[in-house]
Structure 1
Amino acid sequence: MAKEEDKKAENTEDTPVEEKPKGSSKKLLVIGLLLGLLLGGGAGFGAFMMLSGSDAPAEQNEEVVVKKEEPKIDAHFVKVERVNIPLVSKGRVVGNLIADFSIKVDGNDNKMEVIVNLPEIRDAILRHFSGKSIGKKNNPRSIDYPMLKQAIKDISNKILKKPLVLDVMVVQVKQF
Protein backbone atom coordinates (compact mmCIF):
# COMPACT_ATOMS: atom_id res chain seq x y z
CA MET A 1 0.00 0.00 0.00
CA ALA A 2 2.82 2.27 0.61
CA LYS A 3 3.87 1.73 -2.94
CA GLU A 4 0.45 2.71 -4.22
CA GLU A 5 0.47 5.88 -2.17
CA ASP A 6 3.93 6.77 -3.49
CA LYS A 7 2.74 6.22 -7.06
CA LYS A 8 -0.28 8.46 -6.47
CA ALA A 9 1.94 11.16 -4.99
CA GLU A 10 4.33 10.88 -7.95
CA ASN A 11 1.47 11.04 -10.43
CA THR A 12 0.07 14.18 -8.86
CA GLU A 13 3.44 15.89 -8.86
CA ASP A 14 4.34 15.01 -12.44
CA THR A 15 1.02 15.52 -14.16
CA PRO A 16 -0.54 18.93 -14.18
CA VAL A 17 -3.93 19.29 -12.59
CA GLU A 18 -6.66 19.81 -15.23
CA GLU A 19 -8.64 22.97 -14.76
CA LYS A 20 -12.09 23.62 -16.19
CA PRO A 21 -12.01 25.95 -19.18
CA LYS A 22 -13.40 29.43 -18.49
CA GLY A 23 -14.76 29.88 -22.03
CA SER A 24 -17.93 27.89 -21.37
CA SER A 25 -19.48 30.67 -19.26
CA LYS A 26 -18.78 33.20 -22.05
CA LYS A 27 -20.43 30.90 -24.58
CA LEU A 28 -23.51 30.61 -22.41
CA LEU A 29 -23.65 34.39 -22.03
CA VAL A 30 -23.44 34.94 -25.80
CA ILE A 31 -26.08 32.29 -26.48
CA GLY A 32 -28.37 33.85 -23.87
CA LEU A 33 -27.96 37.31 -25.37
CA LEU A 34 -28.70 36.03 -28.87
CA LEU A 35 -31.82 34.24 -27.68
CA GLY A 36 -32.96 37.37 -25.87
CA LEU A 37 -32.47 39.48 -28.99
CA LEU A 38 -34.35 36.99 -31.16
CA LEU A 39 -37.27 36.75 -28.75
CA GLY A 40 -37.41 40.52 -28.23
CA GLY A 41 -37.17 41.23 -31.95
CA GLY A 42 -39.80 38.63 -32.73
CA ALA A 43 -42.16 40.06 -30.13
CA GLY A 44 -41.66 43.59 -31.49
CA PHE A 45 -42.24 42.42 -35.07
CA GLY A 46 -45.37 40.52 -34.03
CA ALA A 47 -46.78 43.54 -32.21
CA PHE A 48 -46.06 45.74 -35.23
CA MET A 49 -47.82 43.31 -37.57
CA MET A 50 -50.86 43.07 -35.31
CA LEU A 51 -51.19 46.85 -35.07
CA SER A 52 -50.78 47.38 -38.81
CA GLY A 53 -54.03 45.57 -39.60
CA SER A 54 -54.87 42.89 -42.11
CA ASP A 55 -53.30 42.52 -45.52
CA ALA A 56 -56.56 42.64 -47.48
CA PRO A 57 -58.64 45.76 -46.87
CA ALA A 58 -62.36 45.20 -46.48
CA GLU A 59 -63.35 47.86 -48.98
CA GLN A 60 -61.23 50.06 -51.15
CA ASN A 61 -62.34 53.59 -51.74
CA GLU A 62 -60.59 55.21 -54.61
CA GLU A 63 -60.46 58.91 -54.04
CA VAL A 64 -59.01 61.17 -56.60
CA VAL A 65 -57.18 63.96 -54.86
CA VAL A 66 -56.80 66.98 -57.04
CA LYS A 67 -53.83 69.03 -56.00
CA LYS A 68 -54.20 72.65 -56.77
CA GLU A 69 -50.87 74.01 -57.74
CA GLU A 70 -50.41 77.33 -56.12
CA PRO A 71 -48.59 79.79 -58.27
CA LYS A 72 -44.97 80.04 -57.28
CA ILE A 73 -44.12 83.33 -55.67
CA ASP A 74 -40.77 84.98 -56.11
CA ALA A 75 -40.95 86.68 -52.72
CA HIS A 76 -39.10 89.94 -52.27
CA PHE A 77 -39.21 92.13 -49.19
CA VAL A 78 -39.05 95.89 -48.89
CA LYS A 79 -37.82 97.12 -45.49
CA VAL A 80 -39.67 100.07 -44.05
CA GLU A 81 -37.82 101.41 -41.03
CA ARG A 82 -38.62 103.93 -38.33
CA VAL A 83 -42.22 104.78 -39.13
CA ASN A 84 -43.64 107.04 -36.41
CA ILE A 85 -47.21 106.09 -35.56
CA PRO A 86 -49.23 107.92 -32.89
CA LEU A 87 -51.33 105.89 -30.44
CA VAL A 88 -54.72 107.60 -30.48
CA SER A 89 -57.58 106.92 -28.07
CA LYS A 90 -60.81 108.93 -27.98
CA GLY A 91 -59.28 111.68 -30.10
CA ARG A 92 -56.22 112.07 -27.87
CA VAL A 93 -52.66 110.93 -28.44
CA VAL A 94 -51.76 108.56 -25.59
CA GLY A 95 -48.35 107.46 -26.89
CA ASN A 96 -46.13 106.99 -29.91
CA LEU A 97 -44.69 104.03 -31.75
CA ILE A 98 -41.63 103.65 -33.86
CA ALA A 99 -42.26 100.65 -36.09
CA ASP A 100 -40.09 98.68 -38.47
CA PHE A 101 -41.83 96.35 -40.88
CA SER A 102 -41.27 94.52 -44.15
CA ILE A 103 -43.58 94.52 -47.14
CA LYS A 104 -43.74 91.24 -49.09
CA VAL A 105 -44.20 91.48 -52.85
CA ASP A 106 -43.95 89.07 -55.78
CA GLY A 107 -40.99 89.66 -58.06
CA ASN A 108 -38.26 92.23 -58.43
CA ASP A 109 -40.34 94.55 -60.65
CA ASN A 110 -43.04 94.87 -57.99
CA LYS A 111 -40.35 95.45 -55.36
CA MET A 112 -38.94 98.34 -57.38
CA GLU A 113 -42.42 99.84 -57.77
CA VAL A 114 -42.97 99.71 -53.99
CA ILE A 115 -39.56 101.31 -53.36
CA VAL A 116 -40.33 104.15 -55.79
CA ASN A 117 -43.65 104.83 -54.03
CA LEU A 118 -42.34 104.30 -50.48
CA PRO A 119 -42.36 107.99 -49.40
CA GLU A 120 -46.00 108.27 -50.45
CA ILE A 121 -46.85 105.02 -48.62
CA ARG A 122 -45.15 106.27 -45.42
CA ASP A 123 -47.09 109.55 -45.66
CA ALA A 124 -50.40 107.73 -46.14
CA ILE A 125 -49.68 105.46 -43.15
CA LEU A 126 -48.99 108.46 -40.90
CA ARG A 127 -52.13 110.29 -42.08
CA HIS A 128 -54.27 107.17 -41.61
CA PHE A 129 -53.12 106.37 -38.08
CA SER A 130 -53.21 110.00 -36.90
CA GLY A 131 -56.98 109.77 -36.78
CA LYS A 132 -57.54 106.07 -36.16
CA SER A 133 -56.63 104.04 -33.10
CA ILE A 134 -54.39 101.01 -33.54
CA GLY A 135 -54.84 100.00 -29.92
CA LYS A 136 -57.10 97.22 -28.75
CA LYS A 137 -60.61 98.25 -27.72
CA ASN A 138 -60.25 97.16 -24.10
CA ASN A 139 -56.69 98.55 -23.78
CA PRO A 140 -55.77 101.40 -26.16
CA ARG A 141 -52.07 101.24 -25.18
CA SER A 142 -51.86 97.61 -26.38
CA ILE A 143 -51.32 97.30 -30.14
CA ASP A 144 -53.72 95.31 -32.32
CA TYR A 145 -51.09 93.75 -34.61
CA PRO A 146 -53.43 91.95 -37.06
CA MET A 147 -55.33 95.21 -37.62
CA LEU A 148 -52.03 97.14 -38.02
CA LYS A 149 -50.72 94.67 -40.61
CA GLN A 150 -53.98 94.65 -42.60
CA ALA A 151 -54.23 98.45 -42.54
CA ILE A 152 -50.65 98.87 -43.83
CA LYS A 153 -51.33 96.31 -46.58
CA ASP A 154 -54.55 98.06 -47.63
CA ILE A 155 -52.95 101.53 -47.56
CA SER A 156 -49.97 100.34 -49.62
CA ASN A 157 -52.13 98.65 -52.25
CA LYS A 158 -54.35 101.74 -52.46
CA ILE A 159 -51.32 103.99 -53.11
CA LEU A 160 -49.88 101.53 -55.66
CA LYS A 161 -53.32 101.23 -57.37
CA LYS A 162 -52.67 97.47 -57.72
CA PRO A 163 -52.69 94.60 -55.22
CA LEU A 164 -48.90 94.23 -55.24
CA VAL A 165 -48.43 93.89 -51.47
CA LEU A 166 -48.97 90.28 -50.46
CA ASP A 167 -48.21 90.53 -46.75
CA VAL A 168 -46.80 92.84 -44.10
CA MET A 169 -44.49 91.58 -41.36
CA VAL A 170 -44.04 93.74 -38.29
CA VAL A 171 -40.35 93.40 -37.43
CA GLN A 172 -40.01 95.66 -34.40
CA VAL A 173 -42.14 98.13 -32.46
CA LYS A 174 -40.85 100.52 -29.82
CA GLN A 175 -43.53 102.15 -27.76
CA PHE A 176 -43.01 105.27 -25.67
Structure 2
Amino acid sequence: MSEENEKGESSGSSKLLLIVGLVLGLGIGGAAVFFLMPEDDGSETQEVAEVTAPEDLQVVEFKEVLIPIYIKRDGRSVFIGNYTVDLSIEVDGTAAVDKVTSMESRLKHEFIATISTVNLMREDSGAELDFEKASKVLKEKAEAVVGKGVIYDLTVTKAMRISR
Protein backbone atom coordinates (compact mmCIF):
# COMPACT_ATOMS: atom_id res chain seq x y z
CA MET A 1 0.00 0.00 0.00
CA SER A 2 2.82 2.35 0.67
CA GLU A 3 3.83 2.04 -2.99
CA GLU A 4 0.34 3.15 -4.10
CA ASN A 5 0.46 6.20 -1.80
CA GLU A 6 3.86 7.20 -3.13
CA LYS A 7 2.65 6.84 -6.75
CA GLY A 8 -0.53 8.80 -6.00
CA GLU A 9 1.37 11.61 -4.30
CA SER A 10 4.03 11.82 -7.01
CA SER A 11 1.45 11.85 -9.82
CA GLY A 12 -0.54 14.52 -7.96
CA SER A 13 2.53 16.70 -7.51
CA SER A 14 3.58 16.18 -11.14
CA LYS A 15 0.10 17.27 -12.30
CA LEU A 16 0.35 20.32 -10.07
CA LEU A 17 3.80 21.10 -11.47
CA LEU A 18 2.47 20.70 -15.03
CA ILE A 19 -0.47 23.06 -14.35
CA VAL A 20 1.80 25.67 -12.74
CA GLY A 21 4.15 25.43 -15.75
CA LEU A 22 1.27 25.92 -18.21
CA VAL A 23 -0.09 28.92 -16.30
CA LEU A 24 3.36 30.51 -16.15
CA GLY A 25 3.92 29.84 -19.88
CA LEU A 26 0.60 31.43 -20.81
CA GLY A 27 1.29 34.41 -18.56
CA ILE A 28 4.75 34.99 -20.01
CA GLY A 29 3.48 34.54 -23.59
CA GLY A 30 0.59 36.93 -23.02
CA ALA A 31 2.89 39.53 -21.51
CA ALA A 32 5.30 39.18 -24.44
CA VAL A 33 2.50 39.71 -26.95
CA PHE A 34 1.19 42.71 -25.02
CA PHE A 35 4.58 44.43 -24.87
CA LEU A 36 5.82 43.49 -28.35
CA MET A 37 2.68 44.42 -30.32
CA PRO A 38 2.87 47.89 -31.91
CA GLU A 39 0.76 50.54 -30.28
CA ASP A 40 -2.37 51.66 -32.09
CA ASP A 41 -1.79 55.34 -32.81
CA GLY A 42 -4.99 55.75 -34.82
CA SER A 43 -3.16 56.03 -38.15
CA GLU A 44 -5.47 53.47 -39.75
CA THR A 45 -8.53 55.50 -38.89
CA GLN A 46 -6.86 58.64 -40.21
CA GLU A 47 -6.15 56.92 -43.54
CA VAL A 48 -9.77 55.84 -43.83
CA ALA A 49 -10.91 59.39 -43.10
CA GLU A 50 -8.81 60.68 -46.02
CA VAL A 51 -10.65 58.43 -48.51
CA THR A 52 -14.06 59.89 -47.73
CA ALA A 53 -16.46 61.23 -50.32
CA PRO A 54 -15.86 64.66 -51.83
CA GLU A 55 -17.50 67.66 -50.17
CA ASP A 56 -19.41 68.79 -53.27
CA LEU A 57 -20.14 65.53 -55.11
CA GLN A 58 -21.64 66.15 -58.52
CA VAL A 59 -22.46 63.81 -61.37
CA VAL A 60 -21.71 64.22 -65.07
CA GLU A 61 -23.66 61.80 -67.23
CA PHE A 62 -22.74 60.60 -70.69
CA LYS A 63 -25.84 59.09 -72.30
CA GLU A 64 -25.87 56.49 -75.07
CA VAL A 65 -22.18 56.37 -75.86
CA LEU A 66 -21.88 54.04 -78.87
CA ILE A 67 -19.06 51.56 -78.33
CA PRO A 68 -17.88 48.69 -80.53
CA ILE A 69 -17.15 45.55 -78.50
CA TYR A 70 -14.42 43.10 -79.39
CA ILE A 71 -13.38 39.83 -77.80
CA LYS A 72 -10.10 37.95 -78.12
CA ARG A 73 -10.25 34.69 -80.07
CA ASP A 74 -7.17 32.80 -81.13
CA GLY A 75 -4.96 35.77 -80.34
CA ARG A 76 -6.88 38.30 -82.42
CA SER A 77 -9.71 40.74 -81.76
CA VAL A 78 -13.10 39.77 -83.15
CA PHE A 79 -15.93 42.30 -83.46
CA ILE A 80 -19.08 41.00 -81.74
CA GLY A 81 -21.33 44.04 -81.95
CA ASN A 82 -22.06 47.55 -80.79
CA TYR A 83 -23.27 48.58 -77.36
CA THR A 84 -24.72 51.83 -76.16
CA VAL A 85 -23.64 52.57 -72.62
CA ASP A 86 -24.68 55.24 -70.16
CA LEU A 87 -21.89 56.47 -67.91
CA SER A 88 -22.11 58.28 -64.60
CA ILE A 89 -18.97 60.20 -63.65
CA GLU A 90 -18.75 61.51 -60.08
CA VAL A 91 -16.57 64.57 -59.52
CA ASP A 92 -15.92 67.05 -56.73
CA GLY A 93 -17.20 70.56 -57.41
CA THR A 94 -18.36 72.65 -60.33
CA ALA A 95 -14.82 73.24 -61.61
CA ALA A 96 -14.42 69.49 -62.07
CA VAL A 97 -17.83 69.28 -63.76
CA ASP A 98 -16.77 72.01 -66.20
CA LYS A 99 -13.47 70.25 -66.90
CA VAL A 100 -15.08 66.86 -67.58
CA THR A 101 -17.87 68.41 -69.66
CA SER A 102 -15.43 70.42 -71.77
CA MET A 103 -13.44 67.24 -72.49
CA GLU A 104 -16.47 65.07 -73.28
CA SER A 105 -15.64 64.40 -76.94
CA ARG A 106 -12.01 63.54 -76.13
CA LEU A 107 -13.12 61.27 -73.29
CA LYS A 108 -15.60 59.45 -75.55
CA HIS A 109 -12.88 58.99 -78.18
CA GLU A 110 -10.48 57.55 -75.60
CA PHE A 111 -13.20 55.29 -74.19
CA ILE A 112 -13.91 53.85 -77.64
CA ALA A 113 -10.19 53.40 -78.40
CA THR A 114 -9.60 51.67 -75.06
CA ILE A 115 -12.63 49.40 -75.18
CA SER A 116 -11.71 48.31 -78.70
CA THR A 117 -8.47 46.81 -77.38
CA VAL A 118 -9.66 45.29 -74.08
CA ASN A 119 -11.93 42.29 -73.53
CA LEU A 120 -14.73 43.64 -71.34
CA MET A 121 -17.15 40.76 -71.63
CA ARG A 122 -18.17 38.63 -68.64
CA GLU A 123 -16.24 35.40 -68.14
CA ASP A 124 -19.41 33.31 -67.71
CA SER A 125 -21.25 34.90 -70.63
CA GLY A 126 -19.30 36.15 -73.62
CA ALA A 127 -22.24 38.20 -74.89
CA GLU A 128 -22.74 40.34 -71.76
CA LEU A 129 -20.70 43.37 -70.75
CA ASP A 130 -18.88 43.11 -67.40
CA PHE A 131 -19.93 46.37 -65.72
CA GLU A 132 -17.25 46.24 -63.01
CA LYS A 133 -14.42 45.61 -65.45
CA ALA A 134 -15.70 48.27 -67.86
CA SER A 135 -16.07 50.85 -65.07
CA LYS A 136 -12.54 50.22 -63.85
CA VAL A 137 -10.96 50.44 -67.31
CA LEU A 138 -12.91 53.57 -68.25
CA LYS A 139 -12.11 55.30 -64.95
CA GLU A 140 -8.39 54.68 -65.47
CA LYS A 141 -8.63 56.11 -68.99
CA ALA A 142 -10.66 59.12 -67.81
CA GLU A 143 -8.06 59.88 -65.12
CA ALA A 144 -5.33 59.70 -67.76
CA VAL A 145 -7.19 62.23 -69.91
CA VAL A 146 -8.56 64.62 -67.27
CA GLY A 147 -5.89 64.17 -64.61
CA LYS A 148 -5.64 62.37 -61.28
CA GLY A 149 -7.88 63.55 -58.46
CA VAL A 150 -10.62 65.05 -60.65
CA ILE A 151 -12.79 61.96 -61.03
CA TYR A 152 -14.07 60.36 -57.84
CA ASP A 153 -15.85 57.41 -59.50
CA LEU A 154 -17.07 56.25 -62.89
CA THR A 155 -19.93 53.80 -63.24
CA VAL A 156 -21.53 52.10 -66.22
CA THR A 157 -25.21 52.59 -65.41
CA LYS A 158 -26.72 50.97 -68.48
CA ALA A 159 -25.52 48.88 -71.40
CA MET A 160 -27.60 47.71 -74.31
CA ARG A 161 -26.44 45.63 -77.24
CA ILE A 162 -27.54 46.90 -80.63
CA SER A 163 -28.54 44.12 -82.99
CA ARG A 164 -26.94 44.01 -86.39
TM exceeds 0.5? yes
Partners of 2:121 and 2:129 within 8 A in 1: yes
1:87 — aligned with what?
69
Partners of 2:129 and 2:159 within 8 A in 1: no
Cα offsets for 1:86-137 (capped at 9, x unmatched):
2212211112110011100011111111111111000000111112221023
**1:149 aligned partner, one-letter code:** S
Cα offsets for 1:69-90 (capped at 9, x unmatched):
4556210110111111122122
110-119 or 81-90: bigger deviation: 81-90
Partners of 1:134 and 1:147 within 8 A in 2: yes
1:107 aligns with 2:89: no
Partners of 1:78 and 1:115 within 8 A in 2: yes
2:153 — aligned with what?
167
Question: Residues of 2 paired with 1:162 and 1:127: CA distance?
Answer: 20
Cα offsets for 1:20-53 (capped at 9, x unmatched):
xxxxxxxxxxxxxxxxxxxxxxxxxxxxxxxxxx
TM-score (normalised: structure 1): 0.58
Structure with larger Rg: 1
Q: Aligned-residue CA RMSD in angstroms?
A: 2.0
Structure with greater contact order relative to length (CA < 8 Å, sep ≥ 6): 2
64-73 or 94-103: bigger deviation: 64-73
Partners of 1:134 and 1:140 within 8 A in 2: no
Cα offsets for 1:133-174 (capped at 9, x unmatched):
210234321211111001111111100133311111222211
Change (3 A) 1:156 1:85: same
1:16 — aligned with what?
none
Could you list the runs of 5+ residues in structure 1 that have no partner in the other structure?
A: 1-63
User: Is the partner of 2:116 in helix, strand or coil?
Assistant: helix
Question: Residues of 1 paired with 2:131 and 2:156: CA distance?
Answer: 8
User: Is the partner of 1:173 in helix, strand or coil?
Assistant: strand
108-117 or 161-170: bigger deviation: 161-170
Identity over aligned residues, as a percent?
19
User: Is the partner of 1:168 in helix, strand or coil?
Assistant: strand
